[in-house]
Structure 1
Amino acid sequence: MARAGHAFTPHSHDSADKSDAALESSSRGMHVLAISFAALAVTAVAQAVIVAFSGSVALLGDTLHNFADALTAVPLAIAFALGRRVATRRFTYGYGRAEDLAGIIIVLIIAGSAAFAGYEAVKRLINPQDVQALGWVAAAGVIGFLGNEWVARYRIRVGREIGSAALVADGLHARTDGFTSLAVLIGAGGAELGWPIADPIVGLTITVAICFVLRDAAREIYHRLMDAVDPALVDQAEQILTATPGVQRVGSLRLRWIGHALRAEVDIVVECDLSLVQAHAVAVQAEHRLIHDLPRLRAATVHADPDGTDSADHHALLASHR
């Protein structure tokens, strides 16, 4: 009786265990943003102290850049907060896609970073400037690089663990800022050796590196906006479904990211002589296995089609709509 009752009631794993996991992922994302914001703020303050007595315009630009980059945590934090809101009759899938919007903002900021770095490099190439206290400027460059690289690794690692493309993109953005800080270090070294032109040349080289990072971040966000998923996830989902007792074969299988959680829509084929209750029980079991065994899958809609030896087309009515 309990099994029959379960067949007629909605599957509860997506509203309990999976919702708890989603909230935990959002909490981890917020935690990462808070820590990385503090790390970047400390880095920028340390650089600002050195700017005060070195008078380095290049370091000033890098310092202001790091302050601005720390603020990229704001749109991501808003997106994570929105993603925790429950679905409504207007936003029936919830607000997880706010992360994709934040990702677009981050990509635009990376593009702005590349444009700014290139502009400053060309300007210094046309009008070279002497830099004072080169040792301190070099130290500030090292501080900026180490701070940004630590934040980049932290954001990228956690972003991939919780499936947040926006957090990964923000990590890639922090890495571009580390490159910019490294340019300050290398430029200061060149100036110390009597090659003032080294600073703008290195700046142009770093601009090219930032463009490559921009390409990777833009591609990551583009894939999410186009509902792309790793084909290995599709293969894994098919293996889970075909191993489910009662599933003859898998028809269509669609996966999509909504924020940092997956949703699935599946057509399975079952024996045509099964009763409605039996066919529904197979579908519920398939959904149950998918939710438990496919990483970061929060919910699945499973449709059962009858199989058989006859030539009947059970979807004839829909043929003109496919």
Structure 2
Amino acid sequence: MAAWLSHLVTPHSHDSADKTDTALESSSRGLRVLGLSFAALTVTALAQAVIVAFSGSVALLGDTLHNFADALTAVPLGIAFWLGRRVATRRYTYGYGKAEDLAGLVIVVIIAVSAIAAGYEAVQRLLAPQDVRALGWVAAAGLIGFLGNEWVARYRIRVGREIGSAALVADGLHARTDGFTSLAVLLGAGGSALGFPLADPLVGLVITLAIVMVLRGAAREIYHRLMDAVDPALLDQAERVLAGTPGVRGVGAVRMRWIGHALRAEVDIKVDHHLSLVEAHAVAVEAEHRLIHQVARLRAATVHADPHGPGDADHHAALASHREPTTA
């Protein structure tokens, strides 16, 4: 009886075996995607590297360096997916999902290094121009880079959206951008074939700029995750779900955060103060149940029920000086 009463008065969490199985399957699919895309990009970059060696194309070199960097981004992200499968502990009470954000920081550094390397080589070639050889092979290498990146992009984006991994989707969009920079190598080869030797290093600079733009977007996404930012539309949806739950008289604070590729929520609702403890508990459970099933990627919710009434009674007066302001 004591254990039953303790469960009634504590916040409620909707963690279940089904949700655990879903999380494990999501991580497994993410690992498969990363393994296959790592192999595809590595083969693509190695093929390009061979052509760089005998062609001397700095534009192709920049694209090759970036493709190697793209392949390497799968390593920290794969480690993060593997860590995210571990169960929560008494020290890491929310589990290890935040490892994805740390992997994101590593990815940002890798992209930055590839941008610096590509830009340096392009500037050096502008200062000391060299003829580009085997232009047909250079053009072919650019096409290989585009096809490899586009396949990886489609695969990462599709699975990333299915499992709710923003990091995997962002990495897929990154690969798509790289595919178009590979096509830019064709422009460099075409310019050189038409007797404009500076076309190759100039395209190399354009590729460097494209890498920097990708770096900016990736850094912004990781910053949002580290700061626990979520799309305000998710809060609007959660508030509508809560307001439509039978027995809910009002909706208070609603907070969400990403932990890996899953959302967690903490919400306050108001229920009729005449309800019994069991009845108020039932309303909270129903609110939690609806949230988990109607808000995409939400895997756990903690619902706090406050009595609505009587009158203007403040049931948290003792905590007034300790509470943080609610969201604007």
Aligned counterparts of 2:280 and 2:147: Cα–Cα separation in 1: 58
Aligned counterparts of 2:179 and 2:45: Cα–Cα separation in 1: 12
The equivalent of 1:171 in structure 2 is: 172
| Shift in alpha-carbon separation, 1:9–1:225, aligned structure 2, 3 A | closer
| Shift in alpha-carbon separation, 1:120–1:175, aligned structure 2, 3 A | farther
The equivalent of 1:142 in structure 2 is: 143
Aligned counterparts of 1:212 and 1:48: Cα–Cα separation in 2: 24
The equivalent of 2:326 in structure 1 is: none
Aligned counterparts of 1:311 and 1:167: Cα–Cα separation in 2: 48
Q: Deviations over 1:124-164 (max 9, x none)?
A: 11111111111011101110122112212322332233232
The equivalent of 2:267 in structure 1 is: 266
Shift of 1:182: 2.8
The equivalent of 2:101 in structure 1 is: 100
SS in 2 for 1:167: helix
Alignment of 1:257 with 2:258, yes or no, is yes
SS in 1 for 2:321: helix
Amino acid at match of 2:204: G
Q: Deviations over 1:82-119 (max 9, x none)?
A: 00000001100000000000011111112222222221
The equivalent of 2:90 in structure 1 is: 89
Q: Deviations over 1:210-268 (max 9, x none)?
A: 22222221111111111111111111111111111110111110011000000000100
Amino acid at match of 1:227: D
> Where do residues 156-305 of structure 1 align in structure 2 (5 Å cutoff)?
156-305=157-306
Which TM-score applies when normalising by structure 1? 0.91
The equivalent of 1:151 in structure 2 is: 152
SS in 2 for 1:28: helix
SS in 2 for 1:86: coil
| Shift in alpha-carbon separation, 1:119–1:50, aligned structure 2, 3 A | closer
1:103 touches 1:169 (CA, 8 Å); kept in 2? no
Aligned counterparts of 1:60 and 1:96: Cα–Cα separation in 2: 36
The equivalent of 1:119 in structure 2 is: 120
Aligned counterparts of 1:202 and 1:256: Cα–Cα separation in 2: 41
Q: Deviations over 1:268-299 (max 9, x none)?
A: 00001111111111111111111122111111
Aligned counterparts of 2:222 and 2:322: Cα–Cα separation in 1: 31
> Where do residues 26-45 of structure 1 align in structure 2 (5 Å cutoff)?
26-45=27-46
Aligned counterparts of 1:44 and 1:169: Cα–Cα separation in 2: 20
Amino acid at match of 2:165: S
Aligned counterparts of 1:55 and 1:308: Cα–Cα separation in 2: 78
1:100 touches 1:165 (CA, 8 Å); kept in 2? no
Shift of 1:199: 1.1
| Shift in alpha-carbon separation, 1:12–1:229, aligned structure 2, 3 A | closer
SS in 2 for 1:301: strand
SS in 1 for 2:248: coil
Amino acid at match of 2:296: P
Aligned counterparts of 1:177 and 1:279: Cα–Cα separation in 2: 54
Moved more, 281-290 or 114-123: 114-123
Amino acid at match of 1:181: S
Shift of 1:51: 4.2
Corresponding residue pairs, total: 320
Amino acid at match of 1:85: R
Aligned counterparts of 1:282 and 1:50: Cα–Cα separation in 2: 66
Moved more, 160-169 or 251-260: 160-169
| Shift in alpha-carbon separation, 1:56–1:202, aligned structure 2, 3 A | closer
Q: Deviations over 1:7-38 (max 9, x none)?
A: 68996742322212211211121111012112
SS in 2 for 1:71: helix
SS in 2 for 1:248: strand
SS in 2 for 1:314: coil
Q: Deviations over 1:57-103 (max 9, x none)?
A: 65455435433431221111100000000000110000000000001
Query: Which sections of structure 1, spanning at least 5 residues, go unmatched?
Result: none
| Shift in alpha-carbon separation, 1:66–1:212, aligned structure 2, 3 A | closer
Aligned counterparts of 2:12 and 2:24: Cα–Cα separation in 1: 19
Moved more, 76-85 or 45-54: 45-54
Moved more, 152-161 or 87-96: 152-161
Moved more, 212-221 or 158-167: 158-167
Moved more, 87-96 or 121-130: 121-130
Amino acid at match of 1:230: D
Aligned counterparts of 1:244 and 1:7: Cα–Cα separation in 2: 19
SS in 1 for 2:81: helix
Query: Which sections of structure 2, spanning at least 5 residues, go unmatched?
Result: 324-328
Shift of 1:50: 3.4
